[in-house]
Each structure stands twice: as C-alpha cells, then as structure tokens.
Structure 1
Amino acid sequence: MKGGVRRIKLGSQGMEVSALGLGCMGMSAGYGPPKPEEDMIKLIHHAVNSGVTHLDTSDFYGPYTNEILIGKALKGLERGSVELATKFGIKSLDGEGEICGNPEYVRACCEDSLKRLDVDYIDLYYIHRVDPRVPIEITMGELKKLVEEGKIRYIGLSEASPSTIRRAHAVHPITAVQLEWSLWTRVPEEEVIPTCRELGIGIVPFGPLGSGFLASGPKLLEGLTDSDFRKVCVFKSPLFATITRGRTWNIIRSHSKEFMKLPRRKGVPPPSWHWRGSYTKGFDVGPIPGTTKTENLNQNIESLYVKLSPEDMLELESIASIDAFKGSRLPPTILAHSNVETPQL
C-alpha cells in the first residue's frame, strides 16, 4: 500500500491499480485554458508519490496535448510505478465520421500514443467511443493483436452498452469499463454495472461531482470561460433544456445543502466525502476524479480513510434517486456517441 493508498484488482485479468485514480483531462482541455505545465507535472509526481498511481488520459484531450504532458511527467518516474490508461477512437465530435474503429486506425492511434507518452507499452487502452459502423469484433481483433505484441497490456471500453460489452468481451477479455457515475448519473446501475460484474470487468467512474455542479450548484458558472465544457453543457444539454432547467437547478441546490450536512458530522471535506460515498459500492470500482489542485487531491486521498456505515450510505443515496435528474448532461451531438450498437459481424 504505497503512500497509504490501498490497491485493488481491476477486473479479473490481473491488473492492479490504486483505489483512487487521477483523471488528467482537465489539466489540458475541457475546463478552460490549459494549466501551467510545470505545475501539472508537480501535481502528477505528488499523486504518484502519495500512492495515486492510476493515471487516466486520452489522445482526444487537447487533442494530444494531455498525452504529451503525461509523457513529460513520466520521465521523472519509474515506468513500473504507474498504471497508465489512455484512449483512442474519437477523431472529432463535430460532423460525420468522427468516431473510428477501423483496424488501421486502431494501430496508428496506439503507435502515436506510445510516441507521445514516450513509453514501450500502455497498461490499459480504452476504446473511447464505439464506432457504430464497424462491428466491435473487428476493432477488438486489432486490440487483441496489440496485446499479443506487448504494446498494450489490458483492454477497456468507455461509455459502452451492455451488448457491446458482451460482444467485445467474447473476443478478448475486457478489463475495465469507464463511465460517468454519480448521484446525478445513476442510469449505469440498471444494466451496465450488473453486466460488468457478471463478466468480472472492473468499473472506472469519472465525474463523481457532476463536473463540479453537485458541489457548487449554479454559482459554478460564474467566471467560467466560453470554452469551458461545463458552460456548453448548460446551454445545449437535455438536463439543462428550458423545460427542465429550473427543476435541475432546484435539485442541485437542495442536493448541495443536504450532502453538506453529512461530512460536517464526520469532519471531512464535502467534495471528498461525496465521491467516496458515491463509489463505496464494491472493490471492483476504481474512480478517477480529476483535479488540477494539490489541495483537492490530498482531500480525495484523506477520504479513503472515512468509514461509512450502512446508515450513512442510505442517507447519501436518498438525496438523489436513480431517476431524479431528467435527461443527460451531455449535448445531443456528444450523447449520440455513447452506448451505441455496432453491426453484427
């Protein structure tokens, strides 16, 4: 247990990761301008030295710049000291042909990521989004070859449907499925999570605080740049559409007040309590909350030591039922690429 952070088995194929991971996207993309490179490298080193060794990125973040950043940070670390996860598959989220799962593209993306990260292998390689035009078996076939060649060690899926997960797993065992899972995104609990557990697949949740909305409420929008993904979501997503916006904000305001009461009784920071409570649902869950601040990272680590009673969990989950929030927080153009089906082989 390095740095006091326990280890967990992710999936049933032998991969081990820190129980708490670090989502690195926000360092380079999605949440306003890129953060200072030197500061982010220091943050990554602090995370790894503290025992948070599961680093998550993608070639789409930037694009490419987040992988380059991670590659620079890795130069100051032993390669075996981290579990490095990256993704491929998204060319663009605008226009047609933005998702690609062709074998040639799979291989080219892997080779390019290896170069940007400056490593010999990738621990966990995800299909970032499934190509609806290519049978998943075709995409998985090329990934299987990359495993056999030693270029990747384990295969993952992101935002995939239960049927896609089953078909992919039949070609080569899937180690992890990455998805959004929080008190405002509980739909995965209906089918995706049970499918993963049936097949022995690990679960890697992102967005435990609903991109910050569940902790800060509407005031989060104050000061956000126009390029910040969260501002885009508010104006284009079903969750914040005109007909549901008032209801959504009311729930978020109420939710924020309610979950503040719980950590105060425990004497821990509210955000870390929230993600910890949301994902205390089994030893097959390895969340990757993102942050660009050392203070937030330290709070997340501290939350690993919080003991939650069954009563605590019931109280936390009662704040937002599985169908409390109506509609996705993602704009339709992005939502269209999640949980899609592929042609039969």
Structure 2
Amino acid sequence: MKYRTLGHGLKVSAIGIGCMPMIKGGNILYGEAADLDESTRTIHRAIDLGVTFFDTAQIYGPFSNEELLGAAIKGKRDGLIIATKFGFKFEGNQIVGVDGSPANARAACEGSLQRLGIDTIDLFYQHRVDPSIPIEEVVGGMMELVNEGKVRHIALSEAGPDTLRRAAKAAPITALQSEYSIWERDVEEEILGVCREHGIGFVPYSPLGRGFLAGAVRSRDELPEGDWRRNDPRYSDENLPANLAIVDAIGAVADKHKASKAQVALAWLLAQGEDIVPIPGTKRRVTMEDSVAATELALTADDLAAIEAAAPRGGTSGPRYGEQGMRMVRL
C-alpha cells in the first residue's frame, strides 16, 4: 500500500474505503443489499492490505453504518484513521434538515464515538454546509472538540470556495470531501486550487460515479427496484446512453494495461495530485481488492489524453444530483 498526506500532516492510505454501502437496508441502497458478515470481512481484509482510512457518517443508516464499522475495528484500531460526519438534524431516524451548530456537532460527536467504540474521531467532517450558521461558528465548535481530545482533525464536505476560504482562516481544515471523478470534474475550476492554497487535502467521494465508471451498469433496467441511482439524472434514459462513451474510453485504457475500468478511474484521480485520496464505496472483498490495486497502476500521458478527450470538464450528460441535492452542494 502507498500512503499520502492530507492537510496538517494526517497520513492515510492512498485509497480509503467508503463504508456507506456496507449496511443492510438503510436509507441509501446501491445494488443488492449488503451481507453484513461480508462487509466485516471486507474491512478486515482492507486492513490486512494496508488500508488505514475508513469513511462513515452519522446519516448512513442512519447510525447503523458507524455501529458496523465500530464492531469491525474492535481490537484493530491502532494505526487506523476513522472519519465520520455530522451536520443534519433528526426526528427519530428521519433527517429533517441541516444543523451545523456547535451544539449539534457536540451531540453528534458523542453519539459517533459511542457507536464507533473509540475514544477519538480522527477526521470529523461537517457533512453539508448549513447556510444559516456562519462557517466560523461551525468550525469553532468543531475545534472545541479537538481541544477536548474527542477529535483529532476537522474537515468539510461539499463546501464552496468562499466558505472554504473563510473556514481556513478561522481553523486548521485538514480535508475537503466532495464528489470528484472522471465524469464529475467541477472542483477543478476553483475548489481544488483553494484547497491547495490553504494546504487542505482533497477526498473524492463517488470516485467511480456510483459504479458507472467501473462499467457496472449499461442500462437503467439493470438497477434493482429501490436503488438510489434510479433517481440519479446521469443514469436516466436520456443521459445514460451518451455517458457510456466515457466508460468505453476508460475500457480502452483498461484493456491496454490489463486492468479493470475501476482501477483506471481511480488511477486517474491519483494522477491529479499527491493530495488526493479517493474513497470508493464497497461492501465486498472482491471489489475492495480491485480498487486498492489501483495504487499500482501508472497511467501514461497518452492514457490521460484519451480520457480527457472522452470526458472533458463539463462534458458529462446530466447533473450529478436532482434539484434538491444540487441545492445542498458548493455552498
């Protein structure tokens, strides 16, 4: 395994593991329901392969994803970087809005620590920006948790450039997590530059386009009922056929290297800078092992040029979220 450093000296494996798909049922489903035993074996196998970076969140489940990860790392905690997120308000198990207040950060942190069975959260994100609370107040509350030893590093998710600049002036921000992949490149316009200006590492989620860039889906009809991607505009009957050209270009590069499409998509991200650490979501050992092997794949200038020609920034058909989801990003 290769390792990289996010902001403020936080060293992590060059590829992390997005744990969101690992629970059975819950509020977000990709493909068939997870097998909980296989999810646990996937975490253990990842640790054996040198993966240190595991990403979860309060809202995954909600709550049950943190519980699964916590149980899996029991007795294996040393050397791991556990990331989780807060930022929503609940009525029971229902998400009813965003809440970036210091009081909510504290309550969420306490709950996450308990569910994860750990003493300190290594990387604590605000999951979505709360436009009703100044970001300086948000990160100030998060830093109180750092000062108390409950959190090591703080981070933001889906923050826009101005919010990121203000946050970085108010507190040491270790990472920004946002969607970034061959078919979602808007962060290249300004956000990556702001991160680098302030020494903030970048953690791409959905680095495989929710499985699309791995070649997992060529027709919307292949998605099971209840699959979250049935609501994804890029998977619509109107947009999906046009986006298949991106997958075919990735496939040509993969064939050249005798690699998988997923490995090419992840290697492309790794080639965008040493401060980038993708976290592909997985729930099975076979896909996790395939993703982790991307650290050994070096793309050539010709490979990168071929991908650029097929998937220039802004060239993907359809927005990455529906209208409601788009209102919650880049704030």
Q: How does 1:108-257 map to 2 (within 5 A)?
A: 108-216=107-215, 219=218, 221-233=220-232, 237=233, 239=234, 246=238, 248-257=239-248
Aligned match for 1:10, one of 6, 13, 21 = 6
SS of 1:175's equivalent in the other structure is: strand
The equivalent of 2:80 in structure 1 is 82
The equivalent of 2:302 in structure 1 is 311
Structure 1 runs of 4+ aligned residues shifted over 4 Å read: none
Deviations 1:319-344 (A, max 9, x none): 1111112542212112211122xxxx
CA shift for structure 1 position 49? 1.1
Q: Compared with structure 1, are the counterparts of its residues 126 and 254 closer, same or farther at alpha carbon in structure 2 (3 Å cutoff)?
A: same
CA distance in 2, matches of 1:289, 1:135: 31
CA shift for structure 1 position 291? 1.2
Q: Identity across aligned pairs (percent)? A: 37
CA shift for structure 1 position 34? 4.5
Q: Compared with structure 1, are the counterparts of its residues 96 and 265 closer, same or farther at alpha carbon in structure 2 (3 Å cutoff)?
A: closer
- Is residue 178–residue 203 contact of structure 1 (8 Å, CA) maintained in 2? yes
TM-score relative to the length of structure 2: 0.93
Is there any run of 5+ residues in structure 2 with no aligned partner, and where? none
CA shift for structure 1 position 215? 3.2
CA distance in 2, matches of 1:124, 1:298: 24
Is there any run of 5+ residues in structure 1 with no aligned partner, and where? 341-345
CA shift for structure 1 position 227? 2.4
CA shift for structure 1 position 223? 4.5
Amino acid at match of 2:128: R
- Is residue 226–residue 232 contact of structure 1 (8 Å, CA) maintained in 2? no
- Is residue 217–residue 253 contact of structure 1 (8 Å, CA) maintained in 2? no
The equivalent of 2:276 in structure 1 is 285
Q: How does 1:64-79 map to 2 (within 5 A)?
A: 64-77=63-76, 79=77
The equivalent of 2:47 in structure 1 is 48
Amino acid at match of 2:18: G
Amino acid at match of 2:266: W
Q: Compared with structure 1, are the counterparts of its residues 199 and 286 closer, same or farther at alpha carbon in structure 2 (3 Å cutoff)?
A: same
RMSD: 2.1
- Is residue 213–residue 220 contact of structure 1 (8 Å, CA) maintained in 2? no
SS of 2:215's equivalent in the other structure is: helix
The equivalent of 1:343 in structure 2 is none
Deviations 1:56-92 (A, max 9, x none): 0000000001000011001141x22210000001236
- Is residue 158–residue 178 contact of structure 2 (8 Å, CA) maintained in 1? yes
Deviations 1:142-189 (A, max 9, x none): 101101111000011000000111111111110000011112211110
CA shift for structure 1 position 103? 1.4
CA shift for structure 1 position 203? 0.4
CA distance in 2, matches of 1:172, 1:60: 25
CA shift for structure 1 position 8? 0.9
